Structure 1
């Protein structure tokens, strides 16, 4: 399909990514197979614009084996595998696979096309004699060029995460006044045509420059906890209207990736006191504050010390309304938390407080406090974490977005960051089910109006 230029392919891809049509509908519009559009979209998503440039490459045997191993181990389709490795035709991979299975490893070796060359070697006489001063100077100059090239590549690719043809072209462009382009493209292992393609585009203004700056700002404001979906929603608040797929692509270009995704503390010690029924029964929905609360205890182990967190979460908006952190999991950990939560009660509130069967929640002192404030006690069934799924989910977020994401200087530093995270979770972290508001924003903007 040589009649389709790079610009035409890019047009089709962008129309698909902007939800202006599916593969089949766009195929009918342009009069081509929808599989071609699917292939170009995948190549663009994995390799950017260079994925749409038809390149002629002699693949090594090792490269072919790597591709086939990836296909077998990951279970990807031919189209997806071709896109990942920037191979223009998925059928090429199928051809390698059949050759390997029927003819063995030697069949993967590239064979020279056309008739054997009858030209005599004419450049031998111009080559410096091995071991001569000229040969040593030439080798030294080449090493200096390679060193300069790879230093700049490392600098350019530090944020992008991978070395693209665009980055290689940028490096060659900066070094071409000092070294020959023909030598630089050999070191970079790209065709000269590819370099000149990117050279034409290096000086063109980036239409997404301001959008990328906004993405970068939001990403670092939330310390890498937001993926492209949440960043898209934050951008919408700032007046940027873009498809999530576009934001995902731009994040990949600038090397931004959501960094998210725990020893579970078990406080069950058999029958200590009276066990309450499962009143909640996994019904986590409620439209009013102070109707359904959930609680649990989790453990952190850092710097040879342990810290125990005991929070209370209101199921109406997912807000942490009370929490206590202590060095030991004594009853006071839960007792003080409960006292703190009770301060949120208003006259007439009828609350159900759900927990697991931990010994803290079976203590007579705990149950007596609940009775004094007309709070109904509810407990998960033994060994069934799904009965308290919302609190388990919060602990998972807390540990993946804080504990596994940041580095701490000391246990005291961790405690400060923990307090900051809970504030961030309540006041800034948006949720889709809360109309893209944070728990506190939802409580103050939506529930108050209702």
Structure 2
């Protein structure tokens, strides 16, 4: 067989069919009508001749690969920071929890770099994820939630601390506050404080109380006031009589009208319940019900000595105002009453079932009014 001499250009184009276009050596040789062994030889020689350029291309490809890997890592760490930004300033164990929850989404090493924790620490946490303190906090939180729910979700950390202390649980108030904050257990908040206004003294009765709200004995000074409660049927008016000694509500009355009889009914309940043996000072604001002739004659017949705040000065009757504030923020603002009877039943439950018997009062060393009276008087 006669040996064929192929020109250099033919050889170069045949090699390009294999190296650049990706065709197989056998297919190219068959199409060109030549021996596949010769084509294999040409391809090998071409690769050997371009050895220097191949090395440069390989270095360039390696650099591109390295840059792509760095970009991928940077993007992953950026995504880590987006999702885990709320744990960046948290404790290490909080970061470990985040890593465990997102281990299928991000690489572990990438999360360790982004959150600045050690991988060995994460594996150690996986074996024992909860410390003794964490377990103790979880056990304490169960008792905190029980106290919080029994208070109808109004107690803050000071009163919850008193409940736990009575049950024999030894812990600090700051620890309870921290756990309540983490569990989003919030005590109820009050309304804005009223602006102070200077008022004129009453002409019907002088201000005998003079803001002396601390009393040594029961049934010496009572305070009274009226408030209103919204229902779908209309306003419901409430009058209370509070003994300054124990802050107990000793008399109350509710009606759809704000007449003098509303006040007299509350006073009648207080006198019937307490049966005071000596004259009692009864302090009120300058409402028309408390300045009426019927009110003054009733007080005189039942040995009550009227006292009145200055006009428009709520601080002179702060105890009664504080009770109404507690009633509204702890009970009324949580409900929408359809009828007046619904409101009456709920307010009755708050006064007689909760406030007088259960609710802790900061003025009484965190005791309820009834417990305070039983402790002091032994009754």
- Judge same fold: TM > 0.5, yes or no: yes
Distance in 2 between residues matched to 1:163 and 1:427, nearest whole Å:
42
Confirm whether residue 436 of structure 1 aligns to residue 360 of structure 2: no
Distance in 2 between residues matched to 1:305 and 1:184, nearest whole Å:
60
Instruction: Please list every run of 5 or more consecutive structure 2 residues that lacks an aligned counterpart in the other structure.
Output: 1-61, 71-75, 195-199
Of the two structures, which has the highest relative contact order with CA contacts closer than 8 Å and spacing of 6 or more?
2
Indicate conservation of the 8 Å contact 1:274/1:362, yes or no: no
Change (3 A) 1:257 1:193: farther
Offset of residue 210 of structure 1: 2.3
Change (3 A) 1:295 1:198: farther
1:344 corresponds, among 273, 291, 296, to 273
Confirm whether residue 329 of structure 1 aligns to residue 258 of structure 2: yes
Indicate conservation of the 8 Å contact 1:296/1:391, yes or no: yes
Change (3 A) 1:168 1:327: farther
Distance in 2 between residues matched to 1:176 and 1:262, nearest whole Å:
47
Change (3 A) 1:176 1:341: same
2:65 corresponds, among 122, 128, 132, to 122
Confirm whether residue 219 of structure 1 aligns to residue 148 of structure 2: yes
Indicate conservation of the 8 Å contact 1:292/1:316, yes or no: yes
Q: How does 1:148-227 map to 2 (within 5 A)?
A: 166-167=93-94, 169-174=96-101, 176=103, 180-182=107-109, 190-191=115-116, 193=118, 196=122, 199=126, 202-205=129-132, 206-227=135-156
Offset of residue 310 of structure 1: 0.6
Give the number of the structure whose alpha-carbon radius of gyration is greater.
2
Distance in 1 between residues matched to 2:284 and 2:251, nearest whole Å:
15
**So what's the TM-score if we normalise by structure 1?**
0.57
Indicate conservation of the 8 Å contact 2:233/2:338, yes or no: no
Offset of residue 353 of structure 1: 0.4
Secondary structure class of the residue paired with 1:359: coil
Residue of structure 2 equivalent to 1:408: 336
Change (3 A) 1:300 1:251: same
Confirm whether residue 445 of structure 1 aligns to residue 375 of structure 2: yes
Distance in 2 between residues matched to 1:282 and 1:402, nearest whole Å:
27
Indicate conservation of the 8 Å contact 1:296/1:311, yes or no: yes
Offset of residue 274 of structure 1: 6.5
Q: How does 1:45-64 map to 2 (within 5 A)?
A: none
Residue of structure 2 equivalent to 1:366: 295
How many pairs does the alignment contain? 300
What value does the CA root-mean-square deviation take over the aligned residues? 3.8
Secondary structure class of the residue paired with 2:187: coil
Indicate conservation of the 8 Å contact 2:219/2:276, yes or no: no
Distance in 1 between residues matched to 2:349 and 2:274, nearest whole Å:
24
**So what's the TM-score if we normalise by structure 2?**
0.67
Q: How does 1:279-358 map to 2 (within 5 A)?
A: 279-303=208-232, 305-346=234-275, 348-358=277-287
Indicate conservation of the 8 Å contact 1:182/1:192, yes or no: no
Change (3 A) 1:381 1:430: same
Residue of structure 2 equivalent to 1:277: 206
Residue of structure 1 equivalent to 2:165: 236
Change (3 A) 1:203 1:389: closer
